[in-house]
Amino acid sequence: MSQLQEVGLVESSGDMAARRVSFVCAISIAAVGGIGLAGWLFSIAAFQSIVPGLPPIKANGAVALLLIGFSLLMLRPELVSGKRLLLGRVASWATIIVTGITIAEWGLRRNLGIDEVMFRDWATQPGFSPGRMSPLTALSLAS
């Protein structure tokens, strides 16, 4: 290992590969959220469900994915600056707030009013709250 690598001035090929993978993951997460949100915005059922026959992504779940992808892009170590750090943190906290309220709705068995803020969900099966992402989805996105 050279002296430049020891002090962190030269990036190893493993570090570069990890940065590329993190970038691709961040873009992929944001793209899934963006496509799901476009499905709600333009009423395109194929964009709302990745696998035909499975339940569609809820609008607030799509927004959470978009925020997570954006946050990951903003918080990439090689690009972090004061503004990017703030934007990344705000996106992360917004995701935690939305998913936290959804988890509270499931736990309290109450509608706290965030499920259909952006779009009316007419396709929800009886017995389920319209527009609400599943508790497993909310827990996964919050973690």
pLDDT of the chain, 143 residues: tens digit per residue: 445 455 455 668 888 888 899 999 999 999 999 999 999 999 898 898 878 888 888 999 999 999 999 999 999 887 778 999 999 999 999 999 999 999 999 999 888 888 877 877 766 666 667 788 888 999 999 98
Give me the residue label for tokens 């990745």: 50
Model pTM? Answer: 0.83
Distance CA 121, CA 124 (A): 6
Could you count the other beta carbons within 10 Å of the beta carbon of residue 117? Answer: 11
What are the structure tokens assigned to 106, written together? Answer: 């499931």
